[in-house]
Amino acid sequence: MTSPRERLVETASRLFYAEGIHAVGVDRLVTEAGVTRATFYRHFPAKDDLVVEYLRAEHQKVRSGVDGAKLGRSAKDALIAIVDFVADSTCGEGFRGCPFINAAAEYPDPDHAVRRMIDEHRRWFRQELRKLAEEFGHPDPDYAAGVLVLLRDGALQSGELDDPEVVRRTLQRAIRDVMR
């Protein structure tokens, strides 16, 4: 049995991703999570606190995928596996782009807690890629990480707008080009 807090985060994750953050109100969240408004506000003083928790849960999913991609692989193979993980993400049913980019579009203030969570995720991801690029001997690991982040961002948006299999093939080819 999941706790009320877990149900709120799970419900928010599903609704925010499918419909947009600002499109989903607290009344709908509490109804679909099966909790009271008082329970909601006991766990999350404001809706934006739930948004941050939703993004933190998304970050953990990405982190688990990246950790799994690195497991037992050389740095170069890990980078390829991370790109495959991103490509796989774009081919799932109900894919609607990157939850972090989607949230950033709804929260333009760079000082807002939601944007700080997005920035934290992006810094972490870029650093992971940079460390791997440095480890496998790329001559400019900062550049390689930057290019890979741009490729990921583009793939996560293109996966919703274009043929996901074309996005996958293009992304896989691009990673090999960057790592030469």
Mean pLDDT of 72-99: 88
Tens digit of each residue's pLDDT (9 = 90 or more) over 10-45: 999 999 999 999 999 999 999 999 999 999 999 999
**Residue 138 scores a pLDDT above 80:** yes
Looking at 3.90.1200.10, 3.40.50.720, 1.10.10.60, 1.10.4080.10, the CATH number of the domain 1-45 comes to: 1.10.10.60
Domain residue ranges of the chain, discontinuous segments joined by +: 1-45, 46-178
pLDDT of residue 161: 81
Q: What is the pTM of this model?
A: 0.92
Same fold for the domain at 1-45 and the one at 46-178? no
What is the pLDDT confidence band of residue 111, given thresholds at 50, 70 and 90?
Answer: very high
- CA 24/CA 15 separation, integer angstroms: 7
Mean pLDDT of 156-174: 83
pLDDT of residue 165: 82
Domain 46-178 annotated CATH 3.40.50.620: no
**Residue 151 scores a pLDDT above 80:** yes
Alpha helix ranges (H) inside the chain: 4-19, 26-33, 37-43, 47-70, 75-90, 99-106, 113-136, 141-161, 164-178
- CA 3/CA 91 separation, integer angstroms: 31
- CA 56/CA 88 separation, integer angstroms: 21
